[in-house]
Chain A
């Protein structure tokens, strides 16, 4: 079946680095997305991976290993505004290429 797993909550310190993991099982992997969602707001797109390796975008990087069904989002130089939930989603060919979403990881940044 289809399954996306992420830690429910993580805590990190301002200025530090944090890695948020996502593992997945789908019938037809066709790309992985990371979104950021502040409390009470809409999700916003952060990154997309379809090939193995690391994609870097400023302070944020996303890594994918298709053979391991694993991705992580790396946030560097954490700022208080990074306190949010981070959603992992996989596009599944077995579901008409629709996105299957993890429950999200709530990241708390402490001063």
Chain B
């Protein structure tokens, strides 16, 4: 009954190949986010979306693109994967930027390894 799912959960890919990660929500939340999490760093925002076809860059957006053609799906694409993009990727959703009673809800994460 998870309101947010990520796929795949694990992926190994080769340097230079494109990779797409999917985030799917059933909560009808407006905001969706892609983060990466690396040891010694906090979660870092890659891109976020505030509605269908409305997206914006985060602090580490270079090498990544996103698309949101439906409310429920937010796709993250690594255009040409590099070893520095080996990371755990989390998708998150929120009903509103200022809805704070519940915070963000995170997906289970995708562990991506670029070899």
Contact = CB atoms under 8 A, between A and B. Distances in A.
Contacts of B100: 31, 33, 48, 50
Contact of A43 (B43, B98, B102): B43
Nearest to A104: B42
Q: Per DSSP, are chain B's interface residues mostly helix, strand or loop, or mixed?
A: loop
A103 interface: yes
Interface residues of A, number: 24
Nearest to A103: B42
Contact of B90 (A31, A43, A48): A43
B20 to A, nearest CB: 20
A11 interface: no
Interface in A80-111: 87, 89, 91, 95-104
Q: Which of A41, A43, A103 is the most central at the interface, judged by chain B CB atoms within 10 Å of its CB? A: A43
Contacts of A42: 90, 106-109
Interface in A15-42: 31, 33, 35, 41-42
B75 to A, nearest CB: 19
B54 to A, nearest CB: 12
B101 A48 contact: yes
Contacts of B97: 91, 97
A23 B58 CA distance: 22
A96 B90 CA distance: 20
Contacts of A96: 56
Nearest to A44: B106
A99 B107 CA distance: 17
A54 interface: no
A4 interface: yes
Nearest to B38: A103
